[in-house]
Amino acid sequence: MKTILMVALTLICVSGLWAQNKKTVKEIGVSYRTEWKYKYDDGEELKYKESEVSFDKRGNVLMEKTYDEDGKILSHMEYKYDENDNVIVETTFNNRGKLSKREEYKYQGNLKTEKKTFDADGTLKSKKVYEYKTF
């Protein structure tokens, strides 16, 4: 009973922290977050790592991994940012850690103007251009 109560209190406290926005992550100085999932089957507690996220000092997500119940990677993403904290490169890896695609973004100020998607070999697969009209 004590264990369940401690787990519940920990999850309540920690989930509030993890649900915070980028500004709060930056202010607190969070560099890494691990999310653990607890399942209960016939009174037995089963725990597994559900995800991991790393942050830079500005609160930007640098890396995200999600896992299945057996600890196998389901997804793995890495990000790079410009001086305005806009994502400029988003890299996706398969469940074996091999590059599967890379997306590159361009901005004018903070407005996204272009997105290019490349396959694992670096071949351009698609390009999107964003146009904006102002009042």
Q: Which residues pair with 79 in a beta bridge?
A: 90
Per-residue model confidence as pLDDT tens digits over 37-93: 999 999 999 999 999 999 999 999 999 999 999 999 999 999 999 999 999 999 999
* Chain centre distance of CA 9: 25
pLDDT value of residue 134: 92
In the DSSP assignment, the letter for residue 133 is -
Rounded Cα distance between 115 and 23, Å, is 26
pLDDT value of residue 5: 39
Answer whether residue 3 shows pLDDT above 90: no
Q: H/E element holding 6?
A: helix 2-18
CA dihedral 83, 84, 86, 92 (to 10 degrees): 20
pTM, to two decimals: 0.80
In the DSSP assignment, the letter for residue 70 is T
Answer whether residue 24 shows pLDDT above 80: yes
- Output 40 or 21, whichever has higher pLDDT: 40
Answer whether residue 12 shows pLDDT above 70: no
